[in-house]
Amino acid sequence: AQKITQTQPGMFVQEKEAVTLDCTYDTSDQSYGLFWYKQPSSGEMIFLIYQGSYDEQNATEGRYSLNFQKARKSANLVISASQLGDSAMYFCAMRERTAGGTSYGKLTFGQGTILTVHP
């Protein structure tokens, strides 16, 4: 079974509008972390935002916010006031602890969503 599922291969948004990129995850661990990364056409991976499973508040970083719904196992990224420079591939990723309780720091990535911002 997929650990991280991003069901939107591609999304389009008008400049200055908000957009939501979907991410659902599968884990039996109680302690885990969810990450979003941006990959522009140049190829580098840029960390955007993090949500811990025990965090009570949804994470926010500037124009990025994470809509965390733990019971539904979803961690959607919301980008407000889209800019042309937001056009990129976006990856959702999850870090789990092992059964022994040691955090290994390994990330499991989804397949990504390509976001295109239109002027």
Partner 1 sequence: DADVTQTPRNRITKTGKRIMLECSQTKGHDRMYWYRQDPGLGLRLIYYSFDVKDINKGEISDGYSVSRQAQAKFSLSLESAIPNQTALYFCATSDPGTGGLETQYFGPGTRLLVL
Give the binding site for partner 1 (CB under 8 A): 4, 31, 33, 35, 37, 43-47, 50, 52, 54, 91, 93, 95, 103-107, 109-112
Minimum distance between the CB of residue 69 and partner 1, rounded to whole angstroms? 19
**Distance of alpha carbon 55 from the chain centroid:** 15
CB contact set of 64 (below 8 Å; sequence gap of 6+):
36, 48, 49, 77, 78, 79
Nearest residue (CB) to partner 1, 85 versus 105: 105
Rounded CA-CA distance 86/117 in Å is 7
Nearest residue (CB) to partner 1, 12 versus 47: 47
Minimum distance between the CB of residue 37 and partner 1, rounded to whole angstroms? 8
Quote helix, strand, coil % in the chain, to nearest 5: 5, 55, 45
Nearest residue (CB) to partner 1, 45 versus 84: 45
Nearest residue (CB) to partner 1, 13 versus 23: 23
